[in-house]
Structures are given as C-alpha cells and as structure tokens.
Amino acid sequence: MPAEAVTWQSIHAEVLRRIRDRTWPPGQVLPHDDKLAAEFGCARGTVSRALRELADVGILDRRRKAGTRVAVSPVRKATLEIPVIRKEIEARGGRYGHMLITREILPPPLHVRSALDLPDDTPLLHLMALHLSDDAPWCLEDRWIDLRTVPALADVDLRRISANQWLVENVAYTAGTLALSATAADAEAAEALRCPEGAALFVIERATFLNDRPITFVRQKHPPAFRMTTSV
Amino acid sequence: MPAEAVTWQSIHAEVLRRIRDRTWPPGQVLPHDDKLAAEFGCARGTVSRALRELADVGILDRRRKAGTRVAVSPVRKATLEIPVIRKEIEARGGRYGHMLITREILPPPLHVRSALDLPDDTPLLHLMALHLSDDAPWCLEDRWIDLRTVPALADVDLRRISANQWLVENVAYTAGTLALSATAADAEAAEALRCPEGAALFVIERATFLNDRPITFVRQKHPPAFRMTTSV
DNA sequence: CAGTGGTCTAGACCACGGT
DNA sequence: CCGTGGTCTAGACCACTGT
C-alpha cells in the first residue's frame, strides 16, 4: 500500500465518514487538532483547514477552549445561486427578451419603504418589466430604484438594457436581503404572465444596498411552472 | 498611527473595497499573490486565504496560470438555512405540535420514483403529517421513505416523534436535492392548512440519499403567509 | 513548457472563553 | 487562568492550464 498523500480533503472525507458512521455521534467531542494531526501524520494546519470547512457548513461546532464537537442539530445550509435573469435564461437554452411596461417616478408604497428602510416617501424610479424566454413570459418584475444612490441610471435607456443587467454591471452592492414566497396572480400578473388569475406564482423579493444607502427593491413573479433547485 | 496587524480579513475587506470602487473593475486581472503579499506586507498564504474566500462566493475568479480576475457576472450565492421544522417553529417563539394523518405502505407515484431514482415500484412507507405552531397549521408534509435504507424507522411510533426529527437525529444523509416552487392548494391541503382551495402555497421538496441509496422524498406545503428569507 | 495558484510544514504567538 | 482553536510566516513542492 502506497503512503497516500495527506491532504485536507482526505481528512475532510475521513472525518465526514466517521460522523456518518456514528463513530463520532452528534454531540461527541472530537480529539484536539494536535491529536488528529498526529493520527493522520500531518501538520496541525492541515487538520484545521479540513475541520474549518466542516464547521462552515454547520456539521461541526468549533470553539476555543471547548474544542470541536459534532453538531447536534445540523442546520443544513443550501446555497442558491442568484444569477442575472438573462444569464439564467440563456443557460437553460432560451433566447432572452425584455419588455419595459411602465417607467415612472412615484412615492414608494409602504412595503418598499420598509424593505429599503426609507425614512420618508421621496419619489423613486418605478419600473414594471417583463422578462421573456423564447417570447414566453419568464417573470414579471416590479422594481423601485433610489436614484439618489445610483444617479447614472436616470439617463439609461431601459428599453434597450434591463435595469437588472445594468445594475449588475455597474453597481456592486454591499448588502442585500432575499425573500422567497408564493402568491396568487392578480389581474396584472395574470395578463403579463399569460396565466389564470389566482394562479400560484413563485415570488422572489430582493433589496440591495450600497454602504447602507438603498439601491433597489425588486419583486419578481414567476409563472406556476417555475422551480428553484439546488443540491446539498 | 500604529502598524495595523495584517490579517486575512483586512486584505479581504481592502480587496472588496477596490472592487466596489472599480479600482479593479469586472474582468480586471489582479496583481499576483506575491505582488499583493509584498504590497500588504504579509506572507503569500495570507493573501491566498483572503482571495480564496472571495473566490468561494463568486466575486473573484482564480485559476492557475491565468491569475486572479474580478468576476464579470457575479453569480451571487445566497445560503438558505434548512432547519428541522420543530427548531424553526421554536426559534420563532411558537409551540411545536405534530399530527400524523396517515401511515401506509404503498407503491410510490412516478414523481417520487423519479426524485429518488427508484428503478421499480417497490412499496415505500408513505406518511401524511401536519406540523403545527401554537396549534395553527404550519405545514402539510407528504413523505415517502425507503425502509430498505432505514429499516429501523419501521418500528418507530411516528405519532410521538415526527419522521422529520427522527431522520435528522438518526441518519446523516450524504447527498440531497432541494427544490422550491409555488402551487395552488388542492382540497386536501386546503382543509389541513385551513386556507381556501386554490390558495398559493409555498412548496419545499427534498430528496435525500445515503451513499446513493434513497432515504426519503418529502414535499412540504406551507400556507400563503410563509416566507423564506436570508441576507446576502 | 513555464507561470500561477493550491497546499503542506513546523513553529510561533495570540484571542477567546470555559472553569 | 490557561487550554484550545485561529492565524501568520517563510519556505518548499506540486498541479493545473494557457501559450
């Protein structure tokens, strides 16, 4: 048997195996990094790297002085990728299209003020737009933009480039929130998405900020067939 | 001015600042790790650690020989936490309750066979259960379990402990898929969740495996007020 | 082929947080 | 207080991949 190279990945896999084995059941304290390094025949840094990765995904609980334990309630974390809609559609083999429905300057409704943490009802740029995949409605977008944070957007022709894409290419946000929910299609959504009124729509809401200044709040309604998937 | 300690976090923050500044715009090639280490006055390993974290979340693109670039299409990644339902309810301050509606052994329908990659229609354990928060319906769970993978579950009294909880505590899955969608409430869901038929429900579907052997497929329907949130 | 990031090492100091 | 993980260093070798 050849002396296998000890990599952090190999330690990661071995530790995971012992956890799944229940060699180390939930709540169990693992040997200290030094002990494990001796057992695996490697430096402490290598063990540390492996265990840190497991702690990052919630499988281990590492604390100074207390040591490393197998997490009791493994709060599994799933990562969702939030691509630009255009890329998402093209990745699925569709031809991307975009239609600006309305563009106006309006005082924001309460839920927008709340999401963007706006102290008053200073008017924002409001857009309604439809994203299309092969000319079929992909999602109806209801967006509010604070032009005080991104003044350059005021001069952009949003019929040619979607606000979504312009923002991604021109503003790197520093913080954001994401909410997923389901809602029934109102008349406007039903018409735009060509689905019956009352149909169950998948809703993605995002608020983004640039150094605590609000950039945009967007609500995207997807037709009933839409699914978001990931693997864990 | 004291000589600040150079930590990987400080480099992480500084690089992020330069990206947001557009000092390094999307597509820009960064100086090599050695150069940056010299600039920041630290070891290459420290720079490497900082840049790796940024690459992990899709902000940088690091490749051997090609160097490090600012990602052009920042596919932002959001991480969703998938807790045990009981913990989720208790974390929100609710009192958890659980009701087993049906328990039977049945051949699985096609969508279950497909999700679990089952070659035939060998009967599985099928459960319908309702999770409650302060006696109000929280979610209707439709679960299929392959007892060949988890035979011990056959003898568990699922009226006392939910399958959800038993599985989390007793089986560490090795792989899984997650899908989120929206659907209209059918008569059964409407009655269980005390909402009108046709209401928009938020649906979470999960399939989990233990070393390529199917464990369970579960579809959880949440009433219209349900939201999943995270920050980025 | 050759340049660049990926990783390992051995040792050191330090920050956090149980006891 | 003092044990344990977190991090930095300086150097080395290696794997991947663009040219």
CB-CB contact of A149 with A129 (8 Å): no
Which of residues 112 through 131 in chain A touch B, CB cutoff 8 A?
none
Residues of B in contact with A223 (CB under 8 A): none
pLDDT at residue B4, as a whole number: 58
**Residue among A76, A168, A178 minimizing CB distance to B229:** A178
Beta carbon pairs, A and B, within 8 Å: 144
**Distance separating alpha carbons of residues A203 and B77, to the nearest angstrom:** 17
Is pLDDT of A139 > 90?
yes
pLDDT of residue B231: 83
- What is the percentage of chain A residues whose pLDDT exceeds 90? 78
In this predicted structure, the answer to whether residue B177 has a pLDDT above a threshold of 60 is yes
The residues pairing with B164 across neighbouring beta strands, listed in sequence order, are none
Strand C-contacting residues in A 4-33, CB cut-off 7 angstroms: 5-9
Sign of CA dihedral A183, A188, A190, A196: positive
**Distance between B227 CA and the closest CA of chain A, angstroms:** 5
Nucleotide nearest to A30 (CA to C1'): D4
Does residue B19 sit in helix, strand or coil? helix
- In angstroms, the CA of B3 and the C1' of D8 are apart by 15
Closest-approach residue (CA) in chain A for B88: A75
Q: Cα Rg for chain A, rounded, in angstroms?
A: 24
| Position B41, amino acid | G
Q: Where are the beta strands (DSSP E) in chain B?
A: 60-63, 67-70, 76-82, 96-106, 124-133, 136-145, 175-184, 200-210, 213-222, 227-231
Inter-chain residue contact B182 with A182, CB threshold 8 Å:
yes
Amino acid at A24: W
Residue nearest to nucleotide D9 (CA to C1'): B43
Q: Which of B111, B149, B180, B210 to mutate to test the interface with A (most CBs of A within 10 A)?
A: B180
Residue B9 pLDDT grade (very low, low, confident, very high; cuts 50, 70, 90): very high
**d(Cα A30, Cα A17) in Å, to the nearest integer?**
13
Residue range B133-143, pLDDT digits in tens = 999 999 999 99
Nearby residues of B65 by Cβ (< 8 Å), 6 or more positions away: none
Which candidate, B77, B67, B75, places its Cα nearest to that of B28? Answer: B67
Across chain B, mean pLDDT equals 92
- Positive or negative, the CA dihedral A192, A193, A195, A201 is negative
Nearest to A84 by CA among A30, A7, A162, A151: A162
Q: Which segments within chain A are labelled E, that is strand?
A: 60-63, 67-70, 76-82, 96-106, 124-133, 136-145, 175-184, 200-210, 213-222, 227-231
| pLDDT value for A170 | 86
- Determine the 3-state secondary structure of B16 from DSSP: helix
pLDDT above 80: residue A1 = no
pLDDT at A82: 81
pLDDT of residue B19: 92
What per-residue confidence (pLDDT) applies to A80? 84
Q: List CB contacts of B161: < 8 A, sequence separation 6 or more.
A: none
Tokens, residue B24: 């390094």
The pLDDT, as a whole number, for residue B1 is 37
A52 touches strand D (CB under 7 A): yes
CA distance A190 to A200: 10
Expressed in angstroms, the distance from the first to the final Cα of chain A is: 33
The mean per-residue pLDDT over the stretch B198-213 comes to: 94
Measured to protein CB atoms, the chain C nucleotides within 7 Å are 2-12, 15-19
The reply to whether the CB atom of residue A51 sits less than 7 A from any atom in nucleic acid chain D is yes
Considering only the beta carbons, identify the residue of A75, A78, A184 that sits closest to B178. A78
